[in-house]
Amino acid sequence: EAQVTQNPRYLITVTGKKLTVTCSQNMNHEYMSWYRQDPGLGLRQIYYSMNVEVTDKGDVPEGYKVSRKEKRNFPLILESPSPNQTSLYFCASSWVPRGQGGGNEQFFGPGTRLTVL
């Protein structure tokens, strides 16, 4: 089954304790992205990656790191989490379109609900 998986699904942690949220896709997609969803703000992009070893900042990258060492995995790292990073996080992936075919939809993971105390 084609899917994007995230782990853990739920996480409660304390301020300053480093954590990693994993994301993996089995569709051989080049593009992967992390979003956070907050009430009244919709989805905001944190980081994205166009391919292995190629990452770039989204709209709200502060306090986050990512890496893309393998095509299927795109972990999100919070080196020193703070309470304002309490949120619902989604990983997504898609093909990178060629030429004018720019409309490839993104496939989303089930989400990770993070609480930072």
Nearest approach, Cβ of 12 to other proteins (angstroms)? 17
Give the burial string for 48-84 (b: 16+ CB within 10 Å, else e).
bbeeeeebeebebbeebebbbeeebebbbebeebeee
Name the segment binding other proteins (CB under 8 A); options: 13-21, 63-71, 72-80, 92-100. 92-100
Residues of span 28-87 touching other proteins by CB under 8 A:
31, 33, 35, 40-45, 48, 50, 56, 58
Indicate whether 89 belongs to the interface with other proteins (CB under 8 A). Answer: no
Indicate whether 16 belongs to the interface with other proteins (CB under 8 A). Answer: no
